[in-house]
Each structure stands twice: as structure tokens, then as C-alpha cells.
Amino acid sequence: MPCNVDPEVARSVAQAAAQLAELGAHVEQIDPGFEDPQEISTGLWFAGAWTVWNTLSADQQALTDPDFRAQALLGEKLSLLDVQRLHLRRGALGTHMRQFMQRFDLLITPSVAVPAFEARPAGHSAMDSAAMLGWTPFSYPFNLTQQPASTVPCGLTAAGLPIGLQFVGPMFGDALVLRASRAYEAVRSGDLDFKRPVTLAR
């Protein structure tokens, strides 16, 4: 899955991978082999927003923020066939990742691709897929595939902004994700208890 990652973020995540290897994990750099599913995620979100929009009265619609209104109106443009095709593509992505995860216990990625940025008010830019999710390409793929994920701090930018490391497990592998997150967190905080074995295996 090609993605532009800020160099400071990429460097911190690479250092985290090296620390995991020192813990005993076998670490391998690999592309999970799917195209960016942003269109699937936002398309289903927009369709859902349009559904919710139509449960609201005119007075309630007038109170919604401009981003939600814009998302709902984008959802209005999707036909039933469009939505069904998005569901089929989501299912195919989930199948692909379940097969991929038969070879690996965990994936690690940046939590987000860019350093933390200032909060932006609703309506700050025209609504489209990139405006909605372009800054977080490592989150929505696994929302779609229903894989558990966690984020743990792994460093700071030169400006002192936090950088996160994401652990992604196989479907239903929540306990493994939490164990790996705790093992890494303990190393970063310097309180790893060497009297208790730490394992990243299933």
C-alpha cells in the first residue's frame, strides 16, 4: 500500500521496529499488497451519513456542522449499486488481509503519516475523500478489515510533537495486540520487568 510518510515519523517507526527486534520479535519489512482503500472507507461513510441525515428533521439538519452536511450530500450521489460494490470491495480486502495474516502475527505501521497538526474547524476545506482521511492512511484500512489495532507513543518530532506506533493484529487477535503494545510501552518507559517473559507470539 503506497503512502507518503513524513521523514520524522518514518524514522521513529523504524527505530521502534529495531527495538521490537531486540525484544526477540522477527521483524520483516513488507507491503501487505493492497491499494489504498480510501474510496471504500469514505464511500461507505458518506452513504451512512446520508442515511442518518434522512432521519433528521429540517430543524435538526440546520444544526449539524458543515462537514457532516457535506458528507451526507456526497452520500446522496451514491446509488444502491455503488454502495453494494463498495461492500464487495470491502469484503475482498478483508479476505486478502485474513490470508496475509496467516503468515504474520502482527503488522506495525505509523499511527498517522504526518506529525500532529492544529485542530481545524468544521468546514475548513471542501469535503472529499482526501480532506476527510488523507492524513490517516494507516487507520481506515483496518477499520474496513475489522482487525484490532492499538497505538503507542514511539517518539517526538524535532518540534516536540508526539509520534505514534500502530500495532495491527489478525481478526480477533486483540490480546496479542495488547501484549505487544505493553511490551513495547514497557521498553520505552524503562520499566520492563525482566523477571516476567515477554512474548510477541500467538
Q: What is the tens place of the pLDDT at every residue in 1-52? A: 557 899 999 999 999 999 999 888 999 999 999 999 999 999 999 999 999 9
For residue 134, give the nearest of 150, 108, 113, 116 by alpha carbon.
113
Residue-wise DSSP of 58-122? HHHHHHS-HHHHHHHHHHHT--HHHHHHHHHHHHHHHHHHHHHTTS-S-EEEESSSS-------T
- 40-49 per-position pLDDT tens digit: 999 999 999 9
Does the domain at 7-115+127-189 match CATH 1.20.1060.10? Answer given as no
Domain boundaries, the chain: 7-115+127-189
- Return the residue matching grid coordinates 517473559: 197
> What is the residue-level pLDDT of the chain in tens, covering all 202 positions?
557 899 999 999 999 999 999 888 999 999 999 999 999 999 999 999 999 999 999 999 999 999 999 999 999 999 999 999 999 999 999 999 999 999 999 999 999 999 988 887 887 778 888 888 888 999 999 999 999 999 999 999 999 999 999 999 999 999 999 999 998 998 886 543 434 444 444 4
pTM across the whole model: 0.86
Cα separation of 104 and 169, whole Å? 9
